[in-house]
A and B are shown apart, each in its own frame.
Chain A
Amino acid sequence: MLVSPRDESDVLDAVRDALADESPLAIRGHGSKAALGRAATPAHILSLAALSGVTLYEPEELVLTARAGTPLREIVALLDAHRQQLAFEPMDHAALLGGVRDDATIGGVIAVNASGPRRVKAGAARDHLLGFRCVTGRGEMVKSGGRVMKNVTGYDLSKLVAGSYGTLAALTEATLKVLPKAETEETLLLSGLGEEKGLAALRKASGSPFEVSSLAFDPRDDIAALRLEGPQISVVKRRDDLAALLGAATQTLDAESSRAFWMRLRDAEPVAAGEGVVWRVSLAPTNGFAFVESLRREAAPLLAHVYDWAGGLVWLRLEAAADAHAGVIRRHVDRLGGHATLIRADEATRAAVEVFHPQPAALAALTRRVKEAFDPRHILERGRMRAEF
């Protein structure tokens, strides 16, 4: 059954009814991320799509408040008209998961702690969520944080809610820090370095003072890409200085091509097309290549991969398998330090394999206690992140 509240107090009632009936709720915006997470079969779907609209936007204060179901594209268009942006550059999951492009809601963006290639400089959704209102799994209306940039009043529950996949609370309203858009951007491409040297060049650039905002390596084209953003005069100078520092054959993408390049990478398009399971792996930048080499040595059936975050984020597509190759992937991620998330696989696989990286026992137990502090009856998104809750 689909429950479609019109406002916050309807959401409160819906969660209380679900608690009374003991029938778990899945939370939906536009459903663009419905195939993310463990496959679970909740009794009802709570649609937040009708809770839509920007309720506060003060460009000079760098702050925007929107109801959870507000389409991301509406927020982006509004910010764009004031030459501002969500600096964390949330990815669009359509290329990976199918569905309509540009159809996310802001609630969904926060629920998965979305980010993009600019993560290394500007942070993820977690770094921009200043405050929120929600209905917890206890059926209570709770607010946290505020609408100002600097706030340490009480626990920073924004961090918990970002990336919680709706398992703690149904977000009803979010207040975000917004930032000016860069005047322009360019991307420097280095080709022919090979994977290992190309990634080393990215790390060298990331340790330079030239404020590189995104650093990726695409092995298929053997291209290392470095994005520079800012005032024209600064971008040109930094591009030249960076090219001199790296001393490799270079080519430059102008603003328009640069934007298109990073949007494609943001959405994991280099690995998206074609059959197979897709993993997203976060590691220390120096370990990205070592990780992929380990998979090759073990003859894991790698179909495509691409590196972002100077090697710290690896997108992988492998041949489909019952366990999605979780064993070999997680063994090497655990050895190197990091986490691996199964982003795309069929439902049976996502029900059988831990989609989110397993945790050591003490951390798993604490995680469960935190879940139950918000949702003791496991009424929200039961089974979405962990089989136990």
Chain B
Amino acid sequence: MPLIMPPPEPAILSRRDEICARLRRILPPASVIADETARRAYECDALAMYRTLPLVVALPETVAQVSAILALAAELNVKIVPRGGGTSLSGGALPLEDGILLGMAKFNRILDVDFENRCARVQPGVQNLAITRAVEHAGFYYAPDPSSQIACTIGGNVGENAGGVHCLKYGLTTNNILGLEIVLMGGEILRLGGKHLDSEMYDLLGLMTGSEGLLGVVTEVTVRLLQKPLAARGLLLAFPTVEAGARCVGAIIARGIIPGGLEMMDQATIRAVESFQPCGYPLDAGAIVIVELDGTPAEVDHLVAEVEAIARAEGAMETRVSRSEAERLRFWAGRKNAFPAVSCIGPDYLCMDGTIPRRRLPDVLTRMDELAKACGLRVANVFHAGDGNLHPLILYDASKEGDIERAERLGADILRLCVEVGGVLTGEHGVGVEKRDLMGEMFDETDLAQQQRVKCAFDPQHRLNPGKVFPTLHRCAELGAMHVQGGKLPFPDLPRF
């Protein structure tokens, strides 16, 4: 599918040298990347099928520099695309030909670790896992753990409201941050929240989280720290069918148990994983469920027994309980290898990210299978079973004519199916450019116009990361207009009582 982005503005392209020169007045020369070869490094994020060479790359390291760059961008009417670790799976950091790519990698310091208030102030370019590394000596960690956590940055996590495998119990990014410093287009610096909870007036901290870099540039994040649970044990449960696995997941939750992790893989994934790096998953299983229970040792033992009993009652072919930390990690090894394993049988794959009401899973998998067969492709499934977040991996071969287009069409059909059964287009990867044109499947024009009005409150000229999230760009003046005629609003098409 050709991706249509806002057309580059010739007036901006022709002023490239001037823009670079102005940036060099704000930043040291080495922090303004104008050279084409060097700019190539920024041409895509983890959604690598879309590539665009940015106008110029700016690498600020202070909030004053960010503010000056955004003020400059407003003055010259140049677009800005913010970028953290560049691990977005939805093209959130895809550059624009006529836009400054604002790389936040130099914001890499942990500013303040405050154990007594159980929080840390960090710069946005700090990697997710680096926060945990900095506090684990005292028994703390930062809970959201997206699978890219070695590389993704906390600023990007805020932009995408990143999740991970533990979010049913411990929440997403939005539930685990206390404060932000942001810079608006134009250069205004604002602080939202702090080390305290729930600032009054509108929750702009919550709004910023998951706004995909369209509202402001994050320059500092205050994260909550949690104490590591005293114990964690895993269960590996094998079921003859996905239906039986899904029933077991439902039964665990119905019993009042919220596991730290609750994952499921289908047979295609199990087989891919076992041929990639064997970790002892039963090959004849229709589905594997991995359950991780954490808490005090006594509680964990008690819950392990309960979950094992539930699994047997739901028809598990096999139940294994980890007896050591090494064994627990072995249970997870296959799950963590699932993506590279699937890419070995692919040879390419497209990772989708819908969320569905969990009980609809068997139905969705059956229909997904039919859709895949109809276009001659295969799908392997990895599933955050606890929260209904489904990652169908569509296998294709980029070297085959038309395969990539077929894969993209199938992906869109799968996401439409997710919405149809009461789910959503994206659970944790973001809309970006990837799902942008599907937004209409979930929202009507009025819903989308309201979201864009929020954008207008922050960035009335649409200079910040335009072309992402929304399928069409409306001018803010047009969105803001209200026409009252003859004492009544003109909504002739809408039903009235």
Contacts and interface: CB of A to CB of B under 8 A. Distances in A.
Interface of A: 7, 9-10, 12-13, 16, 19-21, 58-63, 83-84, 113, 115, 119-120, 123-124, 126-127, 136, 138-144, 146-160, 162-164, 168, 179-181, 183, 203, 206-211, 230-231, 233-234, 237-238, 241, 282-286, 309, 312-313, 337-339, 341, 356-357, 359-360, 362-363, 366-367, 369-374, 376-377, 385-386
A246 B439 CA distance: 53
Contacts of A84: 256
Interface string B483-497: 010011101001111
- Max chain B CB contacts within 10 Å: which of A59, A148, A285? A148
Nearest to A149: B387
Given A7-B497, A149-B388, 16 more contacts: A148-B424, A149-B167, A149-B168, A151-B424, A153-B424, A153-B442, A154-B442, A160-B206, A163-B198, A163-B201, A210-B296, A339-B196, A366-B190, A367-B202, A370-B204, A386-B201
B195 A150 contact: no
Contacts of B454: 155, 157, 160, 370, 373
A385 B199 CA distance: 13
Contacts of A341: 200
A152 B427 contact: yes
A181 B256 CA distance: 7
A367 B175 contact: no
Interface in B116-141: 116-119, 139-140
Most buried by B among A20, A59, A149, A338: A149
A377 B481 CA distance: 11
Most chain A CB within 10 A, of B117, B198, B455, B494, is at: B198
B89 to A, nearest CB: 11
A154 B206 contact: no
Interface in B285-299: 295-296, 298-299
B462 interface: no
Contacts of B115: 207
Contacts of B11: none
Interface in B95-127: 114-119
B236 to A, nearest CB: 22
A312 B200 contact: no
B161 A156 contact: yes
Interface string B183-226: 01000111110111111111111110111000000000000000
Given A282-B197, A370-B457, A160 B469 contact: no
A363 B191 CA distance: 8
Contacts of B171: 123, 127
A282 B195 CA distance: 9
A150 B442 CA distance: 15
Contacts of A124: 197-198
Contacts of A339: 196, 199-200
A154 B386 CA distance: 22
A200 B283 CA distance: 54
Q: Is the interface of B mostly helix, strand, loop or mixed?
A: loop
A152 B204 contact: no
A146 B442 CA distance: 9
B45 to A, nearest CB: 16
Contacts of A241: 296
A284 B195 contact: yes
A260 to B, nearest CB: 22
A373 B198 contact: no
Given A60-B359, A157-B207, A148 B256 contact: no
B257 interface: yes
Contact of B453 (A234, A362, A366, A374): A374
A148 B356 contact: yes
B216 to A, nearest CB: 9
Interface in B435-490: 435, 439, 442-443, 446-448, 450-451, 453-458, 469, 480, 482, 484, 487-489
Given A19-B484, A62-B253, A126-B198, A284 B457 contact: no
B358 interface: yes
Contacts of B387: 148-150
Contacts of B443: 143, 154
Contacts of A20: 484, 487-489
Interface string B16-35: 00000000000000000000
B44 interface: no
B431 A153 contact: yes
A142 B447 contact: yes
Contact of A356 (B200, B206, B258, B389): B200
Given A159-B207, A160-B206, A341-B200, A230 B299 contact: yes
Contacts of B431: 152-154
A367 B201 contact: yes
B488 A146 contact: no
Contacts of A163: 198, 200-203
Interface in B420-435: 422-431, 435
Interface string B372-404: 000000000000101111000000000000000
Contacts of A369: 456-458
A9 B495 contact: yes
Contacts of B488: 16, 20
Interface stretch (B54-62, B227-235, B319-327): B227-235
A113 B201 CA distance: 10
B200 A151 contact: no
B68 interface: no
Given A234-B295, A363-B190, A207 B227 contact: yes
A154 to B, nearest CB: 5
Contact of A233 (B195, B200, B250, B302): B302
Contacts of B202: 160, 163-164, 168, 367, 370-371
Nearest to B438: A153
Contacts of A183: 256
B457 A234 contact: no
A313 B494 CA distance: 46
A237 B296 contact: yes
B422 A147 contact: yes
B174 interface: yes
Contacts of B117: 203, 284-286, 312
8 contacts: A13-B496, A16-B488, A63-B357, A139-B491, A153-B426, A155-B455, A162-B203, A373-B454
B3 interface: no
Contacts of B453: 373-374
A150 B355 contact: yes
Contacts of A127: 171, 174-175
A373 B172 contact: no
The 7 closest A-B pairs by CB, nearest first: A159-B206, A234-B299, A180-B256, A284-B195, A369-B457, A149-B387, A373-B453
A136 B491 CA distance: 14
A308 B106 CA distance: 39
Given A60-B358, A150-B389, A153-B426, A230 B161 contact: no
Given A19-B489, A60-B250, A155 B427 contact: no
B221 to A, nearest CB: 16
Nearest to B169: A179
B313 to A, nearest CB: 15
